[in-house]
Structure 1
């Protein structure tokens, strides 16, 4: 069961780390103050998640697996390509929504394949999914 727990916690951590990286890459390009605030709150959430998940992993005598440099490079290139034609808040919101959707898919797959893990860990994943969906809903007005 420990292996399944570590795998699931790593999936949660991966989602938070990539989300924080993506917001960090675009936050300074956002123009609307309300949009900036929305992004900043989500960035704080991701950083809190990273910290909490690191503590949970340490409790299992493990260290979270960081997203690889290739995935971070790919994400950075995708952001740059999608913003070549202008950095509008609408375009940035759409990109963040797409990224959150990809994160939701990854998290649902991780939960569905998690095997036997404590219910509290499954519930933690469900809360993360709810928060990701709420973030998408917060971004809709900026489209």
Structure 2
């Protein structure tokens, strides 16, 4: 498997996890302004999932969805983390931690797969920008 496919699969999993995490948090959140931010971020991640699917299809491949175990683990972690504190501040902090992990991972993957197709690299760089933007937007809610 070439590095372009590996990088696309990484982008897919990163964006899919972001989308599904935020989807779980939207219903928990009670702040309408913060809800709008969450919806915007979820739609952004969903757009990446769609773009990856199109690029993979063009390459004759299909993105592998998140495993049931990964989804369940994320869901349970969210439920436990928000059991006592459902505030926007707490949820924003959780998402900022996720964005920080995403920033680190994307940066490493870009270095590791630097010989990937230029469109795939651009998509990864765009996801990095989005993760950085999300981090700073979420700071407003701390």
Q: Give the TM interval when normalised to the shorter protein.
A: over 0.9
Alpha carbons 2:12, 2:49 under 8 Å: kept: yes
After superposing the two structures, state which structure 1 stretch, 78-87 or 48-57, moved more: 78-87
Tell me the secondary structure at the aligned position of residue 28 of structure 1.
helix
Aligned match of 1:87: 86
Aligned match of 2:13: 14
Q: Normalising by structure 2, what TM-score?
A: 0.93
Tell me the secondary structure at the aligned position of residue 66 of structure 1.
coil
2:131 corresponds to 1:122:
no
Post-superposition offset of 1:118? 2.5
Aligned match of 1:32: 31
Alpha carbons 2:114, 2:121 under 8 Å: kept: no
Post-superposition offset of 1:98? 0.9
Tell me the secondary structure at the aligned position of residue 2 of structure 2.
helix
In structure 2, how many angstroms separate the alpha carbons of the residues matched to 1:133 and 1:5?
A: 23
5+ residue gaps, structure 2 = none
After superposing the two structures, state which structure 1 stretch, 85-94 or 18-27, moved more: 85-94
Post-superposition offset of 1:115? 4.6
Tell me the secondary structure at the aligned position of residue 37 of structure 1.
helix
Alpha carbons 2:41, 2:134 under 8 Å: kept: yes
Output the aligned Cα RMSD.
Answer: 1.3
In structure 2, how many angstroms separate the alpha carbons of the residues matched to 1:112 and 1:72?
A: 27
Aligned match of 1:76: 75
2:137 corresponds to 1:138:
yes
Aligned match of 1:109: 108
Tell me the secondary structure at the aligned position of residue 116 of structure 2.
coil
Post-superposition offset of 1:101? 1.3
